[in-house]
């Protein structure tokens, strides 16, 4: 079995999906992480600024020298530090000409959502600055002192060191994420390859080998797994055994059918010759011979019919249809003439009424020859079972668009079907609807209707008679449309 390309294989897809999902998880983790990193950085700057501002309290007259003030501001990385203590006392450190802040961030009431937004905004500014479309900013940060929440610290500082620290943190997170993704992907890949891909390859190879050579392919041996793979292995093994048995039976039945077809062909010729010779007996001078001759001829005709139907059934296979617009009333008239020409077992022709209730001019796109064949089988079954009246009606329904449904009903006033015939109604050689039949008429009629895309069904059967319905869709493949000649519906009563 040729294996798929590496890029299209299940293993490669598993590997890529694993890496993708791990990276996606890392992105979801990174977003709050970078926001928290930014907050921690600012809190450290505020804590350092608080300590630096306390030097003012220790200085004589609350005044520090310019040299010390410059050192403290450089240590904290700030331009201006304001420490507001309870009682509105303010300690202040400032450069000689401090810059004006471009943005103010008050961290006292900032939630996680706003922290994420601020971090994302800072990174976007960094990208814009890298392309020369944004200058470095000066920001003013306000928060309670991390050392003493009763005091407030305000720091004016450059944002560039904060952004560089955030970028460095992002690079570290990216490196860790890639490492975790690769390790997780390899572990998941190996595990899934062992648990899923290898068994699936084995199942696929077994299916392909079985398709190429059902008899020669080695049988699939299920493992002891209790999961879905194990169930699939056991079901596939059982299915292979069932299919092998069915194929062997099909081969035997095909050979038997070929033999029966040859026997039928020879037997039909013999019976036809005997039938021709038996017709001369009707000219015999013996009255008894003339009396039994019609029964002998009828028996030979039935034998010839049995051979013809059996031979036709074994040869047919899939029915080739040639749908074309056909006059349904004319078709049913032709069928009636053929049905009424049927010979009874006693040698006489049937005496029945054939009622054609198809409206004049009604046309449908069907295979007239095959549909007539189905109607002949239904009509013959009825009259040979003792029906004195057979009625054919139609009901046509036009659906939305080109689709519609055509239903032909064949109703008789015969004695109804026997229980055995109902149990095996459409089974060849088993579902005869009349005594002495072989059960091929209904089976062939059903095949004809199904070839049209429809269904043959028994509507009712009782002492009052039997009704069969032929449902044939129109406007679909193999059919066409129903031209009801101005009528929307014809209902059989």
Mean pLDDT in each 10-residue stretch from start to end of the chain (493 residues)? Answer: 56 74 79 90 91 77 76 89 80 85 89 88 80 80 88 92 90 83 78 78 80 77 76 81 80 71 70 68 70 68 63 58 89 90 66 91 89 90 88 72 75 85 69 54 86 90 91 59 37 32
Q: Is the dihedral of CA 12, 13, 19, 20 positive or negative?
A: positive
8 Å CB contact between 453 and 406: no
Q: What is the pLDDT of residue 158?
A: 92
* Cα separation values, 209 from 203, 240, 374, 436, 452, Å: 10, 11, 42, 48, 36
* Cα separation values, 42 from 19, 85, 115, 135, Å: 34, 20, 12, 21
Structure tokens at 413: 């006033």
Cβ atoms within 10 A of the Cβ of 287, count?
8
Q: How many residues does the chain have?
A: 493
Rounded CA separation 300/281 (Å): 13
Q: What is the pLDDT of residue 289?
A: 67
Structure tokens at 232: 């699939």
Structure tokens at 88: 């509105």
What do you get for the CA distance between the two ends of the chain, in Å?
A: 62
Q: Is the dihedral of CA 38, 42, 45, 47 positive or negative?
A: negative
Rounded CA separation 194/266 (Å): 63
- Can you state the angle between helices 10-58 and 112-130, rounded to 10 degrees? 100
8 Å CB contact between 151 and 50: yes
**Strand duo 152-158 + 138-144: pairing:** antiparallel
Q: What is the pLDDT of residue 482?
A: 40
- Residue 156 pairs in a beta bridge with 80, 140
Q: What is the pLDDT of residue 488?
A: 35
Q: What is the pLDDT of residue 402?
A: 43
The separation between CA 273 and the C-alpha centre of its own chain, rounded to angstroms, equals 59
8 Å CB contact between 235 and 203: no
8 Å CB contact between 471 and 455: yes
The burial class, CB within 10 Å (0-12 / 13-18 / 19+), for 53 is buried
HEC states along the chain?
CCCCCHHHCHHHHHHHHHHHHHHHHHHHHHHHHHHHHHHHHHHHHHHHHHHHHHHHHHCHHHCCCHHHHHHHHHHHCEEEEEEECCCCCEEEEECCCCCCCCEEEEHHHCCHHHHHHHHHHHHHHHHHHHCCCCCCCEEEEEEECCCCCCCEEEEEEECHHHHHHHHHHHHHHHHHHHHHHHHHHHHHHHHHHHHHHHHHHHHHHHHHHHHHCCCCCCCCCCCCCCCHHHHHHHHHHHHHHHHHHHHHHHHHHHHHHHHHHHHHHHHHHHHHHHHHHHHHHHHCCCHHHHHHHHHHHHHHHHHHHHHHHHHHHHHHCCCCCCCEEEEHHHHHHHHHHHHHCCECCCCCECCCEEEECCCCCCEEEECHHHHHHHHHHHHHHHHHCCCCEEEEEEEEEECCCCCEEEEEEEEECCCCCCHHHHHCCCCCCCCCCCCCCCCCHHHHHHHHHHHCCCEEEEEEEECCEEEEEEEEEECCCCCCCEECCCCCCCCCC
Rounded CA separation 100/130 (Å): 23
Cβ atoms within 10 A of the Cβ of 128, count?
12
* Cα separation values, 22 from 19, 26, 28, 177, 186, Å: 5, 6, 10, 8, 12
The burial class, CB within 10 Å (0-12 / 13-18 / 19+), for 72 is buried
Q: Does this model's pTM top 0.75?
A: no
Phi–psi pair at 106, nearest 5 degrees:
-100, 110
Q: What is the pLDDT of residue 346?
A: 57
Rounded CA separation 58/62 (Å): 7
């Amino acid at each position: 079995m040729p294996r798929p390309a590496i890029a299209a294989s299940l293993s490669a897809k598993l590997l890529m999906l694993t890496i993708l999902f791990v990276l996606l998880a890392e992105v979801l983790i990174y977003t709050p992480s970078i926001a928290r990193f930014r907050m921690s950085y600012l809190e450290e700057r505020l804590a350092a600024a608080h300590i630096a501002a306390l030097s003012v309290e220790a200085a004589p007259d609350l005044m520090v020298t310019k040299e010390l003030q410059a050192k403290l501001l450089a240590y904290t990385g700030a331009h201006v530090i304001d420490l507001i203590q309870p009682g509105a006392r303010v300690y202040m450190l400032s450069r000689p000409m401090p810059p004006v802040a471009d943005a103010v961030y008050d961290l006292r009431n900032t939630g996680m959502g706003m922290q994420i937004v601020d971090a994302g905004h800072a990174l976007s500014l960094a990208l814009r600055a890298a392309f020369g479309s944004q200058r470095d900013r000066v920001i003013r940060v306000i928060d309670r002192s991390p050392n003493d929440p009763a005091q407030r610290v305000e720091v004016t500082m450059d944002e560039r060191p904060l952004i560089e620290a955030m970028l460095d943190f992002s690079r570290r997170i990216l490196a860790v994420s890639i490492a975790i993704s690769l390790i997780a992907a390899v572990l998941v890949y190996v595990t899934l390859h062992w648990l899923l891909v290898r068994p699936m390859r084995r199942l696929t190879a077994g299916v392909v080998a079985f398709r190429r050579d059902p008899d020669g392919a080695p049988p699939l041996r299920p493992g002891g797994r209790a999961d879905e793979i194990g169930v699939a292995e056991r079901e596939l093994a059982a299915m292979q055994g069932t299919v092998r048995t069915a194929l062997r039976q099909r081969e035997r039945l095909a050979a038997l059918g070929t033999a029966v077809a040859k026997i039928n062909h020879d037997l039909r010729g013999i019976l036809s010759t005997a039938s021709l010779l038996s017709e001369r007996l009707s000219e015999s001078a013996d009255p008894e011979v003339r009396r039994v001759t019609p029964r002998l001829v009828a028996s030979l005709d039935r034998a010839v019919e049995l051979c013809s139907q059996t031979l036709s059934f074994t040869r047919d296979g899939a029915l080739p249809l040639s749908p074309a617009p056909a006059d349904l009333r004319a078709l049913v008239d032709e069928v009636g003439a053929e049905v009424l020409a049927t010979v009874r077992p006693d040698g006489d022709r049937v005496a029945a009424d054939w009622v054609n209730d198809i409206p004049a001019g009604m046309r449908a796109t069907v295979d007239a020859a095959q549909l007539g064949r189905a109607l002949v089988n239904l009509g013959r079954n009825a009259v040979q079972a003792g029906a004195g009246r057979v009625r054919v009606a139609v009901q046509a329904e036009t659906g939305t668009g080109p689709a519609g449904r055509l239903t032909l009903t064949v109703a008789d006033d015969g004695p109804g079907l026997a229980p055995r015939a109902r149990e095996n109604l459409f089974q060849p050689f088993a579902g005869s609807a009349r005594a002495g039949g072989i059960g091929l008429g209904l089976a062939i009629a059903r095949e004809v209707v199904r070839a049209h895309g429809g269904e043959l069904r028994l509507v009712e059967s009782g002492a009052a008679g039997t009704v069969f319905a032929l449902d044939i869709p129109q406007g679909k493949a193999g059919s066409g449309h129903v031209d009801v000649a101005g009528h929307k519906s014809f209902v059989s009563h």
